[in-house]
Amino acid sequence: MINYLKLITLLSFGCIFAQEKKVETIYFDFDQYAIDYQQEQTILDFIIKADTSTIESVQIYGYCDDRGDNDYNYKLSEERVMTVQNVLTSNGFNKNKIVLIEGKGRVIITDDFFANLAEIRSKNRRVDLLIVKKNSFGKGIYNSIQEKHSVGDRIYFENILFALGSSKLSLNSKKELDKIALQLQENKNIEFEIRGHVCCTPSYYNDAIDRATKKRNLSLNRAKTVFWYLISKNVNSLRMTYKGCGNKFPLGKGEEVDRRVEFLITKV
């Protein structure tokens, strides 16, 4: 448990460096989701420096310190995310590049573990912007997790496929994910984006309809299903994000293999 707490809190200090300048961090005052001039300027500088022609997507994640209950802090972290998103889009940043926004709630720490608790908490009241570069699909492609990966590697799992119109995991897919979860436990440095795909939709639709929900977000639901299954197998949610890619990346190997989920490595 202590190691888990250490990992979460070290993320507060090291995220911007560990991501090799892929992350911009915005800080907030206690119990606030509005930002001051200096933090707003940080976002504006990000917009000026960001070359959107090289960016495939931006993901926004919000956090709170450890004070307060879970429900309150999840709401506060979501409001912080929305503040940053609004500054981005109102100042001309392409909203279509923002593919995932999520409030992750509070970052748990122990009072007796750190000498400077106030500083730790101040660094946990934040929003992180994560950039995924374009052309990720053009780099290394594998059908299993390797001993060594590079950022941008794409992993296609041949046994994680879905029935037409469904986001439910088959028995074979669950067995494959059980093996993947064990591999991820052995290699805790890998972070990745789970990408869902669909087949068989007309070109004028970006996604297919999920028969269970009657909504046109099937690829997102497939990625989300894998995300939650891996969490149930004790894979840390902070290592994963998820995204629906719709019908944009067919493999040309038939409809069945286009009803798939892939991993895109975002950190090693």
CATH 3.30.1330.60 fits 136-267, yes or no: yes
pLDDT at residue 27, rounded to an integer: 96
* Cα dihedral across residues 24, 29, 35, 40: positive or negative: negative
pLDDT at residue 15, rounded to an integer: 37
User: Which of these, 19, 130, 117, lies nearest to 81 by C-alpha position?
Assistant: 130
Q: For the chain, what are the domain ranges?
A: 2-133, 136-267
Torsion of CA 43, 48, 52, 53, to 10 degrees: -170
Let me know if the fold of 2-133 is the same as that of 136-267.
yes
SS3 at position 217: coil
For 262, the enclosing helix (H) or strand (E) is strand 260-267
Q: Residues of 165-197 as b/e, b for ≥16 C-beta within 10 angstroms?
A: ebbebeeebeebbeebbeebeeeeebbbbbbbb
CB atoms within 10 A of CB 63: 27
Beta strand 55-64 with 98-106 is parallel
Provide the strand spans (E) within 7-140: 23-27, 55-64, 98-106, 126-133
The two three-digit tokens of residue 27, written as one number: 């800080």
Check: CB of residue 129 under 8 Å from CB of residue 242: no
Q: Which residues of the chain have pLDDT under 70?
A: 1-22, 56, 99-100, 110-115, 132-139, 252
pLDDT at residue 56, rounded to an integer: 66
pLDDT at residue 136, rounded to an integer: 44
SS3 at position 137: helix
CB atoms within 10 A of CB 87: 19
pLDDT digits (tens, 9 = 90+) for 138-171: 447 787 888 888 888 888 887 899 999 999 999 9
pLDDT at residue 99, rounded to an integer: 65
pLDDT at residue 72, rounded to an integer: 93
- Homologous superfamily, domain 2-133: OmpA-like domain (3.30.1330.60)
Query: How much is the CA Rg of the chain, to the nearest whole Å?
Result: 19
